[in-house]
Amino acid sequence: MAEPRFNTERHVKYYLRCLKTFLPTLYTSNDSNRMLLAYLTLSGLDVLGVLHSKTTAEERQGYIDWIYHCQVPSGGFRGFPGTDFGLESRTTENEVWDPANIPATFFALVNLLILEDDLERVKRKECLQWLPKVQRADGSFGEVLGPGGRVEGVRDLRYCCCAAGTRYILRGKAGKGLEDVEDIDVPKLVSFIGACQTYDGGMAESPFRESHGGHTYCAISSLDFLNRVSNDVKSVPLLSFGSKENEALLAWLVSRQTAKISESELDEDGSDTQDEQSIDTIEADSRISALPDIQSISADTILYAGFNGRCNKIADTCYSFWNGATLRMLDRYSLIDGDSNRRYLLEKTQHMVGGFGKGIGDPPDLLHSYFGMVSLAFQGEAGLSQVDPTVVTSKRTVQHLESLPWWQ
Ligand SMILES: [Zn+2]
């Protein structure tokens, strides 16, 4: 069997096309998420190790200026320039229609770090003063502040993760120069996260919902962000090896790896292919001999095994990342079958034009391309930079942050 190959050259081409030309029309509805699309593109090139060789200093400065243009005067960032009606027209009454946004703020800061900016133009204090206002009484975070300072957006671990990430980047190790700035309520956030663990060990978007690989990642990365700059979350049960919460979480994560990588065994309408009426009329003997040969499953017969995000779903490229990165943060990545995950990604969802699709035969998109690639970086794929599973950028970028004078 030929050794599967990561096609570096095609992936570089794919990301450069996304960066320097237009995205396909399907991205039109994602216009307000441009800060996220910028992150997936810039970080993709950074993980491939070519961001500096394939862009000019002038281009990178242009990207930095665009990101700062998305900074809201009162602190935090918007996700795209579309809501910006200009400094001259902005008033305390209308600024609610151009709010800072929790995920956009996190991705803007990460983008600046990838571009090796020193964050000197970031309204650090204002942003950190805004953060606790977006936290609800139950400890969760919303997305934006609406009219009257109301917290808006769903109750969801994604916002908790982006808020904890923003705090990690801007507060730094010791909160230098922020003595007069009120912090978020860390114990309440930790207790909200703990309440999101479900009966099966995984984590849901909010309490009493269904376990989900993406939200499980957000829960653990929130705790890891808090852990990196505070000492008060070291003993939470979810992170304590041997606790029933941690054991159940690990079992749930490992069970997400699946050899079911396509729906091909089912009809288009999702039913079994054999007609029920015809089964009744066939003799039992011939029915038995008509049963398909099914090979017994062993580690040797499973060549391809990706990850799903929920029970009973087929594999999807991005969950190789969401579940894998969580296991990395928990220091238990060795529990997965790396070879069959690598073969699934390289032979089934890596696309011939570069990038990765969501599933078999799907066209590449920015999200699945980035997370497929990062999953391979976790497994030490040649030509890829080491990636930090919590910040989800190259370790180079994290070292740049941690070297900033006010961060240490
Ligand atoms: Zn996906």
Task: Report the Cα 204 to chain-centroid distance in Å.
Answer: 15
Q: At what angle do helices 213-229 and 244-254 cross, to 10 degrees?
A: 130
Q: How far is the CA of 366 from the centre of ligand 1 (A)?
A: 11
Mean pLDDT of 208-216: 97
Asked if residue 19 belongs to a domain, the reply is no
Dist. CA 315 → ligand 1 center (Å): 9
Mean pLDDT across 95-115: 97
Residue 25 domain-assigned (yes or no) = no
Asked if the model's pLDDT at residue 265 lies above 60, the reply is no
Q: Are 326 and 342 found together in one domain?
A: yes
Ligand 1 centroid–CA 90 distance in Å is: 38
Residues 161 and 55 in one domain: no
Q: How far is the CA of 102 from the centre of ligand 1 (A)?
A: 22
Distance from Cα 316 to the centre of ligand 1, integer Å: 5
Q: How far is the CA of 20 from the centre of ligand 1 (A)?
A: 25
Q: Give the pLDDT confidence score for residue 270 in this predicted structure.
A: 45
Instruction: Measure 168 CA to ligand 1 centroid, in angstroms.
Output: 27
CA distance 229 to 217: 19
Q: Does some domain include residue 137?
A: yes
- How far apart are alpha carbons 123 and 112 in whole angstroms? 13
Q: How does residue 406 score in pLDDT terms, banded at 50, 70 and 90? A: confident
Give residue 320 CA to ligand 1 midpoint distance, Å.
Answer: 9
* For range 25-45, the mean pLDDT: 96
Task: Give a yes or no: residue 320 inside a domain.
Answer: yes
301 CA to centre of ligand 1 in angstroms: 25
* CA atoms of 68 and 64, how far apart (whole Å): 6
Query: Same domain for 60 and 162?
Result: no
Q: Is residue 278 in some structural domain?
A: no
Give the other-Cβ count within 10 Å of 36's Cβ: 20
The average pLDDT across 247-269 equals 84
Separation of CA 91 and ligand 1 centre (Å): 40
CA of 318 from ligand 1 middle (Å) equals 4
CA of 216 to the centre of ligand 1 (A): 14
Say which residue the tokens 């570089």 belong to: 12
Q: Name the domain count of the chain.
A: 3
**Phi, psi of 187, deg, nearest 5:** -60, -40
pLDDT tens digits along 132-180:
999 999 999 999 999 999 999 999 899 999 999 999 999 999 888 999 9
Give 302-312 pLDDT, tens digit per residue: 899 999 999 99
pLDDT tier at 324, thresholds 50, 70, 90:
very high
Name every residue whose Cβ is closer than 8 Å to that of residue 190 and which is 6 or more positions away in sequence. Answer: 139, 223, 226, 233, 236
Q: How far apart are CA 159 and CA 185, in angstroms?
A: 14
* 221 lies in the same domain as 261: no
The pLDDT value recorded for residue 103 is 98
Are 248 and 335 found together in one domain? no
CA of 260 to the centre of ligand 1 (A): 15
The 10s digit of each residue's pLDDT in 337-392 is: 999 999 999 999 999 999 999 999 999 999 999 999 999 999 999 999 999 999 99
Please report the pLDDT score of residue 2 as a whole number: 76
CA neighbor of 73 nearest in space, from 136, 121, 132: 121
Give a three-class secondary structure readout of the chain: CCCCCCCHHHHHHHHHHHHHCCCCHHHHHHHHHHHHHHHHHHHHHHHCCCHHHHCCHHHHHHHHHHHHHCECCCCCECCCHHHCCCCCCCCCCCHHHCCCCHHHHHHHHHHHHHCCCCCCCCCHHHHHHHHHHHECCCCCECCEECHHHCEECCCCHHHHHHHHHHHHHHHCCCCCCCCCCCCCCHHHHHHHHHHCECCCCCECCCCCCCCCHHHHHHHHHHHHHHHHHCCCCCCCHHHCCCCHHHHHHHHHHHCCEECCCCCCCCCCCCCCCCCHHHHHHCCHHHHHHCCCCCCCCCCCCCCCCEECCCCCCCCCHHHHHHHHHHHHHCCCHHHCCHHHHHHHHHHHHECCCCCECCCCCCCCCHHHHHHHHHHHHHCCCCCCCCECCCCCCEHHHHHHHHCCCCCC
Between the CA of 404 and the centroid of ligand 1 the distance, in Å, is: 34
The pLDDT value recorded for residue 271 is 46
Q: What percent of the chain has pLDDT over 70?
A: 93
CA of 319 to the centre of ligand 1 (A): 6
Q: Which range of residues forms the domain containing residue 227?
A: 123-254
Query: 127 and 64, same structural domain?
Result: no
Residue 23 is predicted with a pLDDT of 94
Question: Do 118 and 129 fall within a single domain?
Answer: no
pLDDT for 335 equals 97
Q: How far apart are CA 260 and CA 310, in angstroms?
A: 13
Tell me how far the alpha carbon of residue 371 lies from the centroid of ligand 1, in angstroms: 9
Same domain, residue pair 104 and 226: no
Q: Is residue 170 part of a domain?
A: yes
Q: So what's the pLDDT on residue 282?
A: 65
- pLDDT for 267 beyond 60: no
- Give distance in angstroms: CA of 62 to centre of ligand 1: 31
Residue 390 shares a structural domain with residue 331: yes
310 Cα: distance to centroid of ligand 1 (angstroms):
11
- The Cα–Cα gap between 17 and 121 comes to 29
What is the C-alpha separation between 73 and 121, in angstroms, rounded?
Answer: 11
Strands 151-152, 144-145: pairing kind: antiparallel
> How many whole angstroms from 242 Cα to the centroid of ligand 1?
31
Determine if the pTM surpasses 0.85: yes
How far is the centre of ligand 1, averaged over its atoms, from the C-alpha of 286 (Å)? 42
- Note whether 261 and 399 are same-domain residues: yes
Judge contact between 318 and 357, C-beta under 8 A: no
385 CA to centre of ligand 1 in angstroms: 22
Look at residue 290 and tell me if it is in a domain: no
* 162 and 227 co-located in one domain: yes
- The CATH number that applies at residue 147 is 1.50.10.20
The reply to whether 250 falls in a domain is yes
372 CA from centroid of ligand 1 (Å): 9
The per-residue pLDDT for 202 is 98
Indicate if 388 and 261 belong to the same structural domain. yes
Percent of the chain with pLDDT over 90: 85
Report the separation in Å between the CA atom of 158 and the middle of ligand 1, taken as the mean of its atom positions: 15
CB atoms < 10 A from the CB of 155, how many? 18
Is pLDDT at 397 greater than 70 in this prediction? yes
Side-chain-side CA neighbours of residue 118 (13 Å): 4
- Ligand 1 centroid distance, CA of 322 (Å): 9
Tell me the CA–centroid distance for residue 386 and ligand 1, in Å. Answer: 22
Is 79 in contact with 367 (CB distance < 8 Å)? Answer: no
Residue with tokens 């794919």: 14
Mean pLDDT estimate for the chain: 93
Give the residue, 3 or 208, on which the prediction is more confident.
Answer: 208
Separation CA 373–CA 258 (nearest Å): 19
- C-alpha 338 – ligand 1 centre gap (Å): 19
**Residue 269 confidence (pLDDT) above 50:** no
Query: What is the Å distance from ligand 1's center to 324 Cα?
Result: 13
